[in-house]
């Protein structure tokens, strides 16, 4: 399919309920890969819940965005400044593209916009079992990086030492 036009629109606190609702679909999508991992059991309520996204809206160093494709709500991206060490300037805290828009270039365009807008040293953290996210970021990051891309599986101190596949690179 051809790439669809994509724009990122800053999300403000009144948009939190919409992003929180979208977050349930985000968790559902991740469960395809992580569903057999501890903590990823299908909820007895039958409804996936997204962790509270409110802190992203209350931190001045965090930038939440709605992704729109051809004017339609298509996902969200949240850029923050929390990395695994002090050198990291930007981190893709959360990134979700609705299934309807996958494979249409929307995710690639949104990620590229973030990397081009926030230039510096980046990290993208991926849950090791999330093969879909790993494949996506493995394709997109080298296109946007201005140099080498480092990849390591290690604990992420800013994420309660959870083990992540951490991409580190620079944009500029």
72-80/63-69 β-pairing: antiparallel
What 3-state class would DSSP assign to 74? Answer: strand
Report the domain count for the chain. 1
Q: For position 4, what pLDDT does the model report?
A: 63
Residue 159 — very low, low, confident or very high, per pLDDT cuts 50/70/90? Answer: confident
The CATH number of whichever domain residue 125 belongs to comes to 3.40.630.30
Handedness of CA 165, 163, 156, 96 (dihedral sign): positive
Burial of 112 (0-12, 13-18, 19+ CB in 10 A): middle
Q: For position 5, what pLDDT does the model report?
A: 77
Q: For position 146, what pLDDT does the model report?
A: 97
Does residue 160 sit within a domain? Answer: yes
Is the pLDDT reported for residue 161 higher than 50? yes
Q: For position 3, what pLDDT does the model report?
A: 56
Give pLDDT tens digits for 9-38.
999 999 999 999 999 999 999 999 998 988
Q: Are 146 and 172 in contact (CB under 8 A)?
A: yes
Q: How much is the average pLDDT of 136-154? A: 97
How big is the chain by its Cα radius of gyration, in Å?
Answer: 15
Is the pLDDT reported for residue 2 higher than 90? no
Mean pLDDT value across the chain: 94
Q: How much is the average pLDDT of 144-158? A: 95
Write down the pTM of the prediction. 0.94
Inter-CA distances, 62 with 11, 57, 90, 109, Å: 11, 7, 9, 20
Residues 6 or more apart whose CB falls under 8 angstroms from that of 62 comprise 55, 56, 78, 79, 80, 81, 93
121-126/90-97 β-pairing: parallel
% of residues, the chain, pLDDT over 90: 88
Give pLDDT tens digits for 79-134.
999 999 999 999 999 999 999 999 999 999 999 999 999 999 999 999 999 999 99
Q: For position 158, what pLDDT does the model report?
A: 84
Q: Which domain does 56 fall in, by range?
A: 6-170
Does residue 55 sit within a domain? Answer: yes
Q: Following CA atoms 106, 40, 138, 115 in sequence, which dihedral angle do they give, to the nearest 10 degrees? A: 50
Does residue 1 sit within a domain? Answer: no
């Amino acid at each position: 399919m051809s790439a669809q036009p994509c724009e990122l629109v800053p999300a403000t606190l009144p948009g939190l309920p919409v992003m929180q609702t979208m977050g349930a679909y985000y968790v559902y999508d991740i469960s395809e890969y992580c569903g057999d991992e501890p903590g990823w059991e299908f909820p007895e309520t039958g409804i996936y819940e997204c962790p509270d996204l409110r802190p992203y809206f209350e931190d001045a160093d965090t930038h939440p965005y709605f992704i729109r494709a051809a004017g339609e709500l298509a996902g969200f991206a949240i850029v923050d400044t929390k990395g695994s060490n002090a050198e990291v300037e930007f981190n893709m805290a959360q990134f979700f593209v609705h299934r309807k828009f996958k494979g249409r270039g929307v995710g690639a365009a949104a990620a590229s916009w973030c990397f081009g807008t926030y230039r510096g040293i980046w990290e993208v953290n991926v849950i090791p079992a999330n093969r879909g996210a790993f494949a996506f970021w493995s394709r997109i990051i080298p296109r946007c990086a201005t140099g080498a891309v480092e990849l390591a599986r290690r604990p992420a101190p800013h994420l309660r030492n959870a083990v992540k596949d951490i991409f580190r690179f620079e944009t500029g």
